[in-house]
């Protein structure tokens, strides 16, 4: 039998490291991160030391030069951290805010910001959504006006993960209001510049991540901080979205599988009318149905990963996977609450938290409706 | 200096364990395995010697093909070489037979220091470390929580009953059986994992080591008669009341049993 290139002994060893890290460093502190409302920033450095933050990036910047199969392994394990907010905070850094810099950034910009991001010495955030423009990225208003060799930025971004933790932002701003999609650029903005501030937002779920509204008042950064070409921001962000959506699929399904396993454990221990919940046909049938949904979502996600590894265009498949995974996770969380009864409705219950956390998957990184709209066009409607 | 670490691959702590059909061991099919937790501290202690000087760290394990994963993990953590004793005759060897195999490897390697875990998570025997030392006629210390190495000897702290510590100095060559918590075990980094691909794993049989006639399941002096899961008791008592009342009742019960 031919060896599976996506499941080599090295994949298994890396999975072991990622699983141990999750079990020893993340899961025991999951509720502490909820209390803090954010991840412990020092753990980014630990992850950087283990090589987890630059899996696909060029070794000359500290990356591992590997492919998406390793990203998949990492998030299949981190997804089991019992804290969707923490998973989101880490994945925003590795796969939502840094891919454009790694692919399109200048050498100077990569040396100054990508190298420390891969080492875990700097944390990044992606700043796209605005109060009046979310999934409709073309509606953004944050404006960058050129003044000599600087951009002067004014505007606001909202629902931004890592708002308080980030050292720099991958900001999408309008640089030419007359040019439509061609008038938008990605600009790297350090968060210690004058005129930048944030407010934290109070979310119904994902408590372990710091989500905020960002304000830019005459923020001045060099034009050399433009990631890629001026006016190519929209296209570059669309490429970056593919990684964002796929990492969301992988990690959310991993988290749902973990919830399924824990619910099974609960059902085996919970005795009702003289026998364990797991011995009742309703439980067994429901659990099998959920497992089937999860298996389908996982296989669809892995098909996306294989396409990404082979270099094929995976946009359509990732779009459908994002739609499907979000719905499966919501269904699993809903059914698992039911198995837990009153306890499932408690904030401390994993099922209860998953219920509110999973709701985000159908919204963040492009809503279900955005996925549906895109696919309707692709299918010729 | 050559440092040898003996490691055992045991069922993963989260594995669902079932007794096999003849009731003599667990079913090993379809369960995950990992390095015995005690042995991970032994690996870390050896790697610290390497970090501090010019030690070569050789990891050794006995078992079927799956054991490669444990050895590769140790190589990924930073060990230099691995020896894998992969021989069907070694499967199910008792403690003495296993000790003979490990002693034969140590002799061949010319190890100056041998690290082991204090015991194995699966059988809890704690038998093999002193047996290996005895077979090699070298001093040993068990339950070790700290080591300090010098040119000719190793000073160790041993854990005694009641939290007391004993300090012992052993001349090299010697064997040290490490207690859990002795150090902070490192993870295998991605860089380490990729480097481990190129590190050698020597596969040996009992005949290669000259112990085919004395070690292995055919030469066992001890055999496992039966493995079973204890029957569930019905003597649990649920304490009721406010938290303060429950605590008072609990302390009373503990005193009643003479445990306080």
Query: Chain centroid to CA A40: how far?
Result: 17
Phi then psi for B154, rounded to 5 degrees? Answer: -130, 130
Element (H, E) at B175: strand B174-178
DSSP assignment string, A245-302: HHHHHHHHHHHHHHHHHHHHHHHHH-EETTEEGGGSHHHHHHHHHHHHHHHHHHHHHH
Cα–Cα dist A183/A193, whole Å: 24
B197 touches chain A (CB under 8 A): yes
- Report the residue of chain A nearest B77, measured CA to CA: A17
CATH of A9-123 given 2.40.50.320, 3.40.50.300, 3.90.650.10, 1.10.540.10:
1.10.540.10
A-chain residues within 8 Å CB-CB of B188?
13, 16-17
In the numeric block, the tokens 């995974």 are attached to A325
Q: Give the mean model confidence (pLDDT) for residues A54-68.
A: 97
Q: What is the pLDDT of residue A123?
A: 98
Cα–Cα dist B129/B116, whole Å: 7
CATH fold, domain B2-219, is: Rossmann fold (3.40.50)
SS3 B225: coil
Q: What is the pLDDT of residue B235?
A: 73
Q: What is the pLDDT of residue B163?
A: 84
Q: Which one of B190, B198, B201, B236 makes the best mutation probe of the A interface by having the most chain A beta carbons within 10 Å?
A: B190
- Report the residue of chain B nearest A49, measured CA to CA: B189
Shortest distance, CA B24 to any CA of chain A (angstroms): 26
B15 touches chain A (CB under 8 A): no
A289 touches chain B (CB under 8 A): no
- Report the residue of chain A nearest B74, measured CA to CA: A13
A-chain residues within 8 Å CB-CB of B40?
none
Q: Give the mean model confidence (pLDDT) for residues A57-62.
A: 97
Q: Does the pLDDT value for residue A63 go beyond 60?
A: yes
Q: In this complex, do B189 and A17 lie within 8 Å of one another by their Cβ atoms?
A: yes
Q: Does the pLDDT value for residue A265 go beyond 90?
A: yes
B-chain residues within 8 Å CB-CB of A49?
189
Q: In this complex, do B193 and A64 lie within 8 Å of one another by their Cβ atoms?
A: no
Q: In this complex, do B76 and A13 lie within 8 Å of one another by their Cβ atoms?
A: yes
Of B247, B240, B209, B196, the C-alpha closest to B86 is: B209
Q: What are all long-range contacts of B144-152, with beta carbons under 8 Å and residues at least 24 apart?
A: B144/B118, B144/B176, B144/B177, B144/B178, B144/B179, B144/B182, B145/B178, B145/B179, B145/B181, B145/B182, B146/B182, B147/B45, B147/B49, B147/B176, B149/B49, B149/B52, B149/B113
Q: What is the pLDDT of residue B104?
A: 98
Element (H, E) at B170: strand B165-171
Q: Does the pLDDT value for residue B69 go beyond 90?
A: yes
User: Residue A38 in contact with residue A166, Cβ under 8 Å?
Assistant: no
A-chain residues within 8 Å CB-CB of B76?
13, 17
Q: Give the mean model confidence (pLDDT) for residues A290-296.
A: 98
Q: Does the pLDDT value for residue A2 go beyond 60?
A: no
Out of A76, A77, A130, A244, the active site residue is: A244
In the numeric block, the tokens 């094929």 are attached to A312
User: How many contacts, defined by CB atoms under 8 Å, are there between A and B?
Assistant: 42
Phi then psi for B34, rounded to 5 degrees? Answer: -150, 170
User: Residue A153 in contact with residue A189, Cβ under 8 Å?
Assistant: yes
B194 touches chain A (CB under 8 A): yes
Element (H, E) at A160: strand A150-161
Shortest distance, CA B154 to any CA of chain A (angstroms): 31
Per-range mean pLDDT, top range of A4-13, A186-195, B30-39: A186-195
Q: Does the pLDDT value for residue A259 go beyond 80?
A: yes
Q: Does the pLDDT value for residue A312 go beyond 80?
A: yes
Shortest distance, CA A120 to any CA of chain B (angstroms): 14
Q: What is the mean pLDDT of chain A?
A: 95
Q: Which of residues 3-32 of A touch B (CB under 8 A)?
A: 9-10, 12-14, 16-17, 20-21
Q: Give the one of A10, A50, A70 whose C-beta lies nearest to B187's C-beta.
A: A50
Shortest distance, CA B195 to any CA of chain A (angstroms): 10
Q: Does the pLDDT value for residue A243 go beyond 80?
A: yes
CATH fold, domain A235-378, is: Butyryl-CoA Dehydrogenase, subunit A; domain 3 (1.20.140)
Q: Which of residues 27-86 of A touch B (CB under 8 A)?
A: 49-52, 55, 64, 70
Q: What is the pLDDT of residue A240?
A: 87
A-chain residues within 8 Å CB-CB of B187?
17, 20-21, 50
Q: Which of A352-361, B11-20, B206-215 has the lowest mean pLDDT?
A: B11-20
Q: In this complex, do A10 and B193 lie within 8 Å of one another by their Cβ atoms?
A: yes
ipTM given for this complex: 0.87
Q: In this complex, do A17 and B72 lie within 8 Å of one another by their Cβ atoms?
A: no
Which tokens hold the place of B36? 């015995």
A-chain residues within 8 Å CB-CB of B196?
13
User: Residue B4 in contact with residue B105, Cβ under 8 Å?
Assistant: yes
pLDDT bin (cut points 50, 70, 90) of residue B232 is confident
Shortest distance, CA B65 to any CA of chain A (angstroms): 12
Instruction: Clarify whether A244 is annotated catalytic.
Output: yes
Q: In this complex, do A17 and B76 lie within 8 Å of one another by their Cβ atoms?
A: yes
Shortest distance, CA A26 to any CA of chain B (angstroms): 14
Q: What 8-state DSSP symbol labels residue B217?
A: G
Q: In this complex, do A50 and B34 lie within 8 Å of one another by their Cβ atoms?
A: no
Model pLDDT for residues A87-142, shown as the tens digit of each residue: 999 999 999 999 999 999 999 999 999 999 999 999 999 999 998 876 677 789 99
Q: Does the pLDDT value for residue A377 go beyond 90?
A: yes
B68 touches chain A (CB under 8 A): yes
CATH fold, domain A125-231, is: Butyryl-CoA Dehydrogenase, subunit A; domain 2 (2.40.110)
pLDDT bin (cut points 50, 70, 90) of residue A3 is low
In the numeric block, the tokens 């066992």 are attached to B220
Cα B59 to Cα A188, B125, B230: the distances in Å are 47, 21, 35
Element (H, E) at A103: helix A99-104
B-chain residues within 8 Å CB-CB of A20?
187
Q: What is the pLDDT of residue A24?
A: 95
Cα–Cα dist B200/B83, whole Å: 8
Shortest distance, CA A258 to any CA of chain B (angstroms): 13
Domain positions in chain A are 9-123, 125-231, 235-378
Q: Which one of B59, B186, B193 makes the best mutation probe of the A interface by having the most chain A beta carbons within 10 Å?
A: B193
Q: What 8-state DSSP symbol labels residue A67?
A: -
């Amino acid at each position: 039998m031919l060896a599976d290139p996506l499941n080599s002994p090295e994949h298994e060893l890396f999975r072991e490291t990622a699983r141990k890290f999750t079990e020893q460093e993340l899961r025991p502190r999951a509720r502490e991160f909820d209390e803090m409302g954010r991840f412990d920033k020092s753990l980014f450095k630990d992850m950087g030391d283990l090589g987890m933050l630059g899996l696909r990036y060029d070794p000359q910047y500290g990356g591992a030069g590997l492919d998406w199969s390793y990203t998949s392994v990492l998030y299949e394990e981190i997804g089991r951290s019992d804290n969707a907010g923490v998973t989101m905070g880490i994945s925003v850094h590795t796969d939502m805010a840094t891919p454009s810099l790694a692919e399109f950034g200048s050498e100077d910009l990569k040396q100054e910001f990508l190298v420390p991001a891969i080492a875990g010495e700097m944390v990044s955030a992606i700043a796209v959504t605005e109060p009046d423009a979310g999934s409709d990225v073309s509606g953004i208003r944050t404006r960058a006006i050129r003044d000599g060799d600087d951009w002067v930025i004014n505007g606001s971004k909202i629902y931004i993960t890592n708002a308080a933790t980030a050292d720099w932002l991958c900001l999408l701003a309008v640089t030419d209001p007359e040019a439509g999609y061609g008038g938008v650029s990605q600009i790297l903005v350090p968060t210690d510049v004058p005129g930048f501030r944030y407010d934290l937002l109070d979310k119904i779920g994902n408590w372990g991540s710091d989500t905020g509204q960002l304000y830019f008042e005459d923020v001045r950064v060099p034009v050399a901080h433009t990631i890629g070409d001026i006016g190519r921001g929209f296209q570059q962000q669309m490429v970056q979205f593919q990684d964002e959506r796929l990492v969301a699929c992988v990690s959310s399904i991993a988290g749902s599988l973990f919830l399924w396993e824990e619910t099974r454990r609960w059902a085996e221990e919970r005795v009702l009318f003289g026998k364990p919940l797991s011995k009742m046909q309703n439980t067994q049938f429901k659990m099998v149905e959920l497992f089937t949904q999860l298996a389908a979502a996982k296989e669809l996600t892995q098909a996306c990963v294989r396409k990404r590894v082979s270099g094929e265009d995976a946009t359509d498949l990732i779009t459908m996977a994002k739609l499907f995974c979000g719905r499966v996770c919501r269904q699993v969380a809903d059914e698992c609450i039911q198995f837990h009864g009153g306890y499932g409705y408690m904030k401390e219950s994993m099922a209860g938290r998953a219920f509110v956390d999973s709701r985000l998957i159908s919204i963040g990184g492009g809503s279900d409706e955005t996925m549906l709209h895109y696919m309707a066009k692709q299918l010729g409607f | 200096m050559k440092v040898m670490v003996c490691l055992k691959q045991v069922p993963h702590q989260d594995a669902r364990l079932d007794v096999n059909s003849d009731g003599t061991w667990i079913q090993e099919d379809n369960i995950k395995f990992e390095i015995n937790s005690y042995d991970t501290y032994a690996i870390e202690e050896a790697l610290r010697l390497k970090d501090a000087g010019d030690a070569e760290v050789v990891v050794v394990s006995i078992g079927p093909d799956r054991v490669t994963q444990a050895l590769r993990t140790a190589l990924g953590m930073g060990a230099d070489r691995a020896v894998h004793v992969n021989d069907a005759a070694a499967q199910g060897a008792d403690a003495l037979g296993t000790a003979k195999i490990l002693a034969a490897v140590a002799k061949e390697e010319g190890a100056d220091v041998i690290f082991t875990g204090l015991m194995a998570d699966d059988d809890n025997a704690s038998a093999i470390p002193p047996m290996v030392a005895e077979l090699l006629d070298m001093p040993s210390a068990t339950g070790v929580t700290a080591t300090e190495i010098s040119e000719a000897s190793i000073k160790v702290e041993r854990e005694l009953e009641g939290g007391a510590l004993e300090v012992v100095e052993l001349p090299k060559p010697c064997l040290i059986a490490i207690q859990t918590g002795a150090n902070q075990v490192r993870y295998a980094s991605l860089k380490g994992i990729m480097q481990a691909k190129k590190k050698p794993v020597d596969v040996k049989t009992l005949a290669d080591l000259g112990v085919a006639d004395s070690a292995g399941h055919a030469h066992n002096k001890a055999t496992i008669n039966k493995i079973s899961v204890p029957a569930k008791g019905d003597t649990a008592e649920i304490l009721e009341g406010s938290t303060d009342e429950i605590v008072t009742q609990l302390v009373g019960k503990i005193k009643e049993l003479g445990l306080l």
